[in-house]
Amino acid sequence: MASPAPGLISVFSSSQELGASLAQLVAQQAACCLAGARARFTLGLSGGSLVSMLARELPTAAAPAGPASLARWTLGFCDERLVPFEHAESTYGLYRTHLLSRLPIPDSQVITVNPELPVEEAAEDYAKKLRQAFQGDSIPVFDLLILGVGPDGHTCSLFPDHPLLQEREKIVAPISDSPKPPPQRVTLTLPVLNAARTIIFVATGEGKAAVLKRILEDKEENPLPAALVQPRTGKLCWFLDEAAARLLTVPFEKHSTL
């Protein structure tokens, strides 16, 4: 059986160029969605280095559309650490401080995990909020998900060999034994990831090179979590810098503004 297609791979000469292109793509996707029949744009964000990258580039890219456009954005999070919003590990807390202070999406359109609840209840509460926001979808269908990938091949809070990789019923799952601290988290599941209209994986730095080669080129009997992200009908893209892409032999598009 042939391996799944790795998706469109774009390689940038620096993380700065990658960030600028990513922000432009988000703004373009938003404009297309808002001009369509649904007249709204649903975006799912991941944490880590993506926070500073998007905070640096997205407000400028989204500004020409104006506040009326941003009022029709719905923002969710691909996973969340169960810590207070003021904590340095809170994905929403970091976005609130660094991005949302400069990107005026109404609070009512930002779907958050409640970190004050026990992890099981927090997952159920977040799933309920998503179902309310995505009424009519049996599984929430995001217009765009931006995902990261760890050196171990994890994405969201879906880790190698973890039972959550087999979850097919829940749209949101709790995790109490994350191998990466903090241990308690809430994550979207693979059925939601693979229902998205567009997914962009972002990876930068030499530390990601070996795992990207495994994900994008090797056909493994027990695929890494990021390799299990294969949208059913949507589009899959990879945005990498040169350091992260240095071991790849599959075809990719080279981008540079120089």
Q: What is the CATH number of domain 46-185+203-215+240-252?
A: 3.40.50.1360
The dihedral region occupied by 185, where left means phi > 0, alpha psi between -120 and 50, and beta the remainder, is beta
Residues of the chain above pLDDT 70, percent: 97
Torsion over CA of 132, 133, 138 and 144, rounded to 10 degrees? -160
pLDDT tens string 141-195: 999 999 999 999 999 999 999 999 999 999 999 999 999 899 999 999 999 999 9
Asked if pLDDT for residue 5 goes beyond 80, the answer is: no
Amino acid found at 30? A
**pLDDT confidence bin for 255, thresholds 50/70/90:** confident
* The pLDDT value given to residue 239: 97
Domain positions in the chain: 46-185+203-215+240-252
* The pLDDT value given to residue 6: 61
Amino acid found at 18? L
Of 7, 69, 68, 61, nearest to 32 by C-alpha is 69
User: DSSP letters along 8-53, please?
Assistant: EEEEESSHHHHHHHHHHHHHHHHHHHHTSSS--EEEEE--TTHHHH
**Rg of the chain in Å (alpha carbons):** 17
Asked if pLDDT for residue 246 goes beyond 60, the answer is: yes
232-241 mean pLDDT:
96
Q: Is the pTM of this model over 0.75?
A: yes
Of 246, 258, 257, nearest to 9 by C-alpha is 246
* The pLDDT value given to residue 101: 93
pLDDT tens string 25-42: 999 999 999 999 989 999
Report yes or no: 119 and 174 within 8 Å, Cβ to Cβ. yes
**pLDDT confidence bin for 253, thresholds 50/70/90:** confident
